[in-house]
Amino acid sequence: MTDRLDMDFTLDLVSNATSDDYYTPAYIFEALNLNFDMDVCAPLGGIPWIPAKKSLSIVDDGLITDWKGLVWMNPPYSAPNDWIYKFVAHNNGLCLVPTSKANWFKFIWENADGAMVMPPNLKFIRGKEVAQIQYQTMMFSMGGVATSGLVESKLGRVR
């Protein structure tokens, strides 16, 4: 399942022009079968396959904009700390983050309603290409709807 991308690579994503521009593949959202109110870490214009009513880009600054409803968050892996604390405080959504020895990782591990280790060969969308990152990733859920979606996705074992 992790090699399946179901993507049309003619899509031109607007990059934030950072080394953090790695986007979650469409099959993850198909499996989750959830509609999000916000994608809080999107590129300009959003990502067409993420089922979110609103996308916050680097211009909107998701760290200062109020979050509403069920959120999706794939934060900048180079600096996830503040995003994690805001995500846990919001208490309603799903996030995809790398594993880490940092305090923020311990914090989300201890506070999340659900946690799932993603396949080690998870491939992300990077412009018109697919790319693998060097870190193991995990998905965390906050709130009943997000946790149920994670469990029902069958993407992996949820704890």
- Confidence class of residue 67 from pLDDT cuts 50, 70 and 90? very high
Q: Please give the residue that has the higher pLDDT: either 28 or 122.
A: 28
Q: Tell me: the pLDDT tens digits for 97-149?
A: 999 999 999 999 999 999 999 988 888 777 777 767 678 899 999 999 999 99
pLDDT of residue 6: 42
How big is the CA angle at 41 (ends 94 and 107), to the nearest 5 degrees?
50
| Sequence spans of domains, the chain | 26-153
3-state per-residue secondary structure call for 21-87? CCECCHHHHHHHCCCEEEECCCCCCCCCCCCEEEECCCCCCCCCCCCCCCEEECCCCCCCHHHHHHH
Q: What is the mean pLDDT of residues 68-73?
A: 98
pTM of the model: 0.85
